[in-house]
Amino acid sequence: MRYGFIGAIATAVHYLVLIACVELFKWPAYLGSGIGAVVGAQVAFFGNRKFTFDHSGAMNTAWIKFQTTALIGAAVGMAIVAITVKMGWHYLIGQVLATLTGLVLTFAVNRAWTFRRS
């Protein structure tokens, strides 16, 4: 439940950045998706560290692991957005698919690796 709540906040930040990049700056959607993912990942890290996993281990190690996981998720998401836009779909539809894929992928990796209890 907490993972979903923190994820919703981080996802909202991600989408706001994505929309700003595409609509205001006229950047490609896949690039906006990647930038949004990086910004959203910071929100997600600090929220999940404190509220979801109650992790008290070394922050630097967890932060590096989380960012590695987030970058993998961002790369997958960027690819999904790029492919769906190339197929003629609206970029936000592609981003929804990327978000759902990333949710499953990053939760599994974060639980098993990033915030694993020693």
Q: Could you read off the pLDDT of 22-32 as tens digits, one per residue?
A: 999 999 999 99
CB atoms < 10 A from the CB of 51, how many? Answer: 12
Q: What is the pLDDT of residues 53-68, one digit of tens each?
A: 776 777 788 789 989 9
For 57, which DSSP code?
S
Q: For the whole prediction, is pTM greater than 0.95?
A: no
For 28, which DSSP code?
-
Task: With CA atoms as reference, report the closest residue to 40 among 19, 61, 22, 62.
Answer: 19
